[in-house]
Amino acid sequence: NAGVTQTPKFQVLKTGQSMTLQCAQDMNHNSMYWYRQDPGMGLRLIYYSASEGTTDKGEVPNGYNVSRLNKREFSLRLESAAPSQTSVYFCASSEGNVGGRYTEAFFGQGTRLTVV
């Protein structure tokens, strides 16, 4: 039972390079999320997709784009990486709102990205 799978686990980029972080979930969840984690700032939402075919900006969307390829996959793209995007990135998925209750999010293992 894989849950939420992210690739790659580690990446070093030069300023200005682009890359795509991949995320896939096998739990048939409707909602998927991308967070970044920085020391002392907790997790901040970059983008989310409440359901297949929809995406919305979160708290810190600048410099990122996302694609909800299908129900399973939700990718995050950095078009022109900057040192400020050095962070640990987590993908998560959840069933979303079920009967008025927000079901918990399940997280991937994270991608440690360094931009030099």
User: Which residues here bind other proteins, judged by CB under 8 A?
Assistant: 31, 33, 35, 40-45, 48, 50, 56, 58, 90, 92, 96-97, 101-102, 104-110
Q: Which of 46, 31, 51, 26 is nearest to 88 (CA)?
A: 46
54 vs 24, 51, 67, CA distance in Å?
Answer: 16, 6, 9
- For residue 57, the cross-strand partners are 47
Min dist CB 16 to other proteins, Å, is 29
Min dist CB 12 to other proteins, Å, is 18
For other proteins, the closer of residues 19 and 50 by Cβ is 50
Min dist CB 68 to other proteins, Å, is 14
For other proteins, the closer of residues 17 and 65 by Cβ is 65
DSSP assignment of 31-65, as one string?
A: EEEEEEEETTTEEEEEEEESSTT--EE-S--TTEE
**Pairing, β 111-115 against β 10-13:** parallel
For other proteins, the closer of residues 7 and 17 by Cβ is 7
For other proteins, the closer of residues 14 and 39 by Cβ is 39
Min dist CB 40 to other proteins, Å, is 6
